[in-house]
Amino acid sequence: MKTIAKLGLALGMFAMLSYAESWTGKLIDATCHDRSQQNPAESKQKSDLASCDASASTTSFAIQTSDGKVYKLDASGNAKASTALKGNSDSKNPIATVSGSMEGQTVKVDSISVR
Protein backbone atom coordinates (compact mmCIF):
# COMPACT_ATOMS: atom_id res chain seq x y z
CA MET A 1 0.00 0.00 0.00
CA LYS A 2 2.86 2.38 0.79
CA THR A 3 4.38 1.74 -2.63
CA ILE A 4 1.15 2.69 -4.36
CA ALA A 5 0.86 5.85 -2.27
CA LYS A 6 4.45 6.85 -3.09
CA LEU A 7 3.87 6.17 -6.79
CA GLY A 8 0.69 8.26 -6.74
CA LEU A 9 2.47 11.11 -4.99
CA ALA A 10 5.37 11.00 -7.47
CA LEU A 11 3.02 11.02 -10.46
CA GLY A 12 1.09 13.92 -8.98
CA MET A 13 4.28 15.95 -8.54
CA PHE A 14 5.39 15.27 -12.11
CA ALA A 15 1.96 16.25 -13.41
CA MET A 16 2.12 19.50 -11.48
CA LEU A 17 5.57 20.32 -12.85
CA SER A 18 4.43 19.66 -16.41
CA TYR A 19 2.11 22.67 -16.20
CA ALA A 20 4.92 25.08 -15.33
CA GLU A 21 6.21 27.34 -18.07
CA SER A 22 9.47 29.21 -18.34
CA TRP A 23 10.28 32.65 -19.73
CA THR A 24 13.68 34.27 -20.22
CA GLY A 25 14.16 37.94 -20.91
CA LYS A 26 15.01 41.37 -19.64
CA LEU A 27 13.72 42.22 -16.17
CA ILE A 28 11.95 45.59 -16.33
CA ASP A 29 10.02 47.98 -14.09
CA ALA A 30 6.34 47.17 -14.76
CA THR A 31 5.09 50.57 -13.52
CA CYS A 32 7.43 52.41 -15.87
CA HIS A 33 6.40 50.15 -18.75
CA ASP A 34 2.70 50.82 -18.06
CA ARG A 35 3.32 54.59 -18.11
CA SER A 36 5.17 54.34 -21.42
CA GLN A 37 2.29 52.34 -22.92
CA GLN A 38 -0.26 54.99 -21.91
CA ASN A 39 1.48 57.65 -24.00
CA PRO A 40 3.63 55.83 -26.59
CA ALA A 41 4.47 58.93 -28.70
CA GLU A 42 5.90 60.81 -25.73
CA SER A 43 7.79 57.80 -24.37
CA LYS A 44 9.53 57.14 -27.70
CA GLN A 45 10.67 60.76 -27.87
CA LYS A 46 12.14 60.68 -24.39
CA SER A 47 13.56 57.14 -24.68
CA ASP A 48 11.62 56.16 -21.56
CA LEU A 49 11.55 52.54 -22.63
CA ALA A 50 15.30 52.27 -22.15
CA SER A 51 14.96 53.76 -18.67
CA CYS A 52 12.46 51.06 -17.61
CA ASP A 53 15.27 48.71 -16.61
CA ALA A 54 14.68 47.11 -13.23
CA SER A 55 16.74 48.46 -10.36
CA ALA A 56 17.14 47.79 -6.64
CA SER A 57 14.34 50.31 -5.96
CA THR A 58 11.84 48.66 -8.33
CA THR A 59 8.77 47.23 -6.59
CA SER A 60 6.68 45.99 -9.53
CA PHE A 61 8.47 43.78 -12.05
CA ALA A 62 7.79 42.38 -15.50
CA ILE A 63 9.82 40.30 -17.92
CA GLN A 64 10.26 41.35 -21.54
CA THR A 65 11.01 38.39 -23.79
CA SER A 66 13.13 38.52 -26.94
CA ASP A 67 9.99 38.72 -29.09
CA GLY A 68 8.96 41.94 -27.30
CA LYS A 69 6.15 40.50 -25.19
CA VAL A 70 5.90 41.77 -21.62
CA TYR A 71 4.60 39.61 -18.78
CA LYS A 72 3.92 41.11 -15.34
CA LEU A 73 4.90 39.15 -12.24
CA ASP A 74 2.55 38.43 -9.33
CA ALA A 75 3.12 39.79 -5.81
CA SER A 76 5.29 36.86 -4.71
CA GLY A 77 7.18 37.09 -8.00
CA ASN A 78 7.87 40.78 -7.31
CA ALA A 79 9.32 39.86 -3.91
CA LYS A 80 11.42 37.05 -5.40
CA ALA A 81 12.65 39.31 -8.23
CA SER A 82 13.58 42.05 -5.77
CA THR A 83 15.56 39.61 -3.63
CA ALA A 84 17.27 38.08 -6.68
CA LEU A 85 18.12 41.52 -8.08
CA LYS A 86 19.59 42.71 -4.80
CA GLY A 87 21.74 39.58 -4.74
CA ASN A 88 23.01 40.49 -8.22
CA SER A 89 23.16 44.29 -7.95
CA ASP A 90 26.09 44.73 -10.38
CA SER A 91 23.89 43.94 -13.39
CA LYS A 92 22.79 47.07 -15.31
CA ASN A 93 20.46 45.16 -17.68
CA PRO A 94 19.27 42.19 -15.63
CA ILE A 95 18.27 39.08 -17.55
CA ALA A 96 15.93 36.75 -15.71
CA THR A 97 14.57 33.27 -16.13
CA VAL A 98 11.13 32.92 -14.60
CA SER A 99 9.32 29.63 -14.02
CA GLY A 100 5.64 29.56 -13.19
CA SER A 101 2.20 29.60 -14.72
CA MET A 102 0.10 32.20 -16.51
CA GLU A 103 -2.97 33.46 -14.68
CA GLY A 104 -4.73 35.93 -16.93
CA GLN A 105 -2.16 38.59 -17.83
CA THR A 106 0.13 37.85 -14.88
CA VAL A 107 2.78 35.20 -14.28
CA LYS A 108 2.38 33.34 -10.99
CA VAL A 109 6.06 32.87 -10.20
CA ASP A 110 7.42 29.61 -8.79
CA SER A 111 11.07 30.57 -9.13
CA ILE A 112 13.26 33.27 -10.64
CA SER A 113 16.96 33.59 -11.32
CA VAL A 114 18.70 36.81 -12.35
CA ARG A 115 22.02 37.15 -14.10
pLDDT tens-place string over residues 12-43: 665 555 567 999 999 999 999 998 888 766 55
Strands 106-114 and 61-65: unpaired
Amino acid at residue number 111: S
> What global pTM score does this model have?
0.76
Question: How many domains in the chain?
Answer: 1
Ramachandran class of 47: left when φ > 0, alpha when ψ lies in -120 to 50, beta otherwise: left
In a domain? residue 3: no
106: containing domain: 20-114
In a domain? residue 14: no
Spatial CA neighbour of 26 closest among 97, 84, 100: 97
In a domain? residue 8: no
Burial class (CB in 10 A: 0-12, 13-18, 19+), 68: exposed
In a domain? residue 71: yes
Confidence band of 108 (pLDDT split at 50, 70, 90): very high
In a domain? residue 69: yes
In a domain? residue 59: yes
In a domain? residue 36: yes
